[in-house]
Structures are given as C-alpha cells and as structure tokens.
Amino acid sequence: MDRDRRIEELSERIASLEAAMSQIARPYAELAEQLAQMQAMVGKYFHLLDLYQRHGMISIEIVLPQVKDPMSREIIRILMDRPGMNISQVTEELRARTGSSSRRIVRGRLENLVKAGLLVESRGRREKTFRISEDVIKKWSDVLGLSK
C-alpha cells in the first residue's frame, strides 16, 4: 500500500515538473520563432539589396524579361500606376510619357499582353478596361521577397 502511494506521489511530482519545465521553455520557444521570422525578413532585405546592386533598380525588365518591346513595358508601368484604364486613357498616358502613340498600336499591344497573360481585360457596358494579371503581381511579390 505504501509503495502504491509513493508511486502515485512520484507521478504527481513528475507531472508537476513537466508542467513547470513547459512553462519555462515557452518563452524560449517564442523567442526562437521570432528569431526565425527576423532571419527570414533579413534574408529578403539582402535579396533586395542584391537586386539593387546588380541592376540599379527593380524594374519590369527584371520581373518580366519576356517583355522586349519598350512600348509594352511602358503600358505595363502605366497600368501598375493606374489600373482599370481603357484604351483611350492608356494611349493618352503613353503619349504624355513618351511623346507619341496611336490608339491602333496601343490596342494591338494591349491585346498581345492580354494573350500573354500579363494583363487582364474587363468588359464593361461601353468599354474595355485593363489591369495587371495576378500572375504578374505574384512575380513581383516573388522578386521582392513578399510571397510566403
């Protein structure tokens, strides 16, 4: 009988010690998790610094090297600044930025960018508007180190 009571008492003490050790270890586990998050953030920061050092900036050419045409790159820049523009608005903005553009050429470039999956076309009742595709946004996030 005495032996059973002692075993039960020892079991209770072991459970108490385990609970105490768990409480002591919790702040260290939280600290280790915070350090891991900080390390990941620093890694992203150094990635950005490396891109700036190698290229001088993070540009469309780095994120979308398949877009060779300067006008198409500028159209993407315009729609990154102001999503939801129609053909006339894009043409007007392109003309303001580059000095020249024609609606016919801009329409063709927009159609090619939509076919390539870089832009998304939305049809309204009276006009089409354009915005950057989710794939392009994901590529930018990957380059910037923002994706998980």
The structure tokens 């994706």 sit at: 147
Q: What's the rounded mean pLDDT across residues 17-44?
A: 83
- Final residue of a structural domain among 57, 81, 101: 57
Domain identity same for 13 and 67: no
As a whole number of Å, the CA-based R_g of the chain is 29
Give the number of domains in the chain. 2
Q: Is pLDDT above 60 for 36?
A: yes
Higher model confidence: residue 35 or residue 117? 117
Within this chain, do residues 91 and 137 fall inside the same structural domain, yes or no?
yes
> Sign of the C-alpha dihedral, residues 135, 139, 144, 147?
positive
Does 70 share its domain with 129?
Answer: yes
What confidence tier does 24 reach under pLDDT thresholds 50, 70, 90? Answer: confident
Same domain, 41 and 113: no
- Assess whether 35 and 64 both reside in one domain: no
**Whole domain around residue 53: which residue ranges?**
1-57
6 and 43: one domain?
Answer: yes
68 shares its domain with 97: yes
With beta carbons less than 8 A apart as the criterion, state whether 114 and 120 touch: yes
pLDDT at 30 over 80: yes
CATH number at residue 88: 1.10.10.10
**48 and 66, same domain (yes or no):** no
Tens of pLDDT, residue by residue over 46-73, are: 766 676 666 666 677 777 888 889 999 9
Q: Give the Cα separation of 54 and 61 in Å (integer).
A: 13
Domain boundary pick from 30, 57, 84: 57
Residue 90 shares a structural domain with residue 41: no
Sheet arrangement for strand 119-123:
85-86, 128-132, 119-123
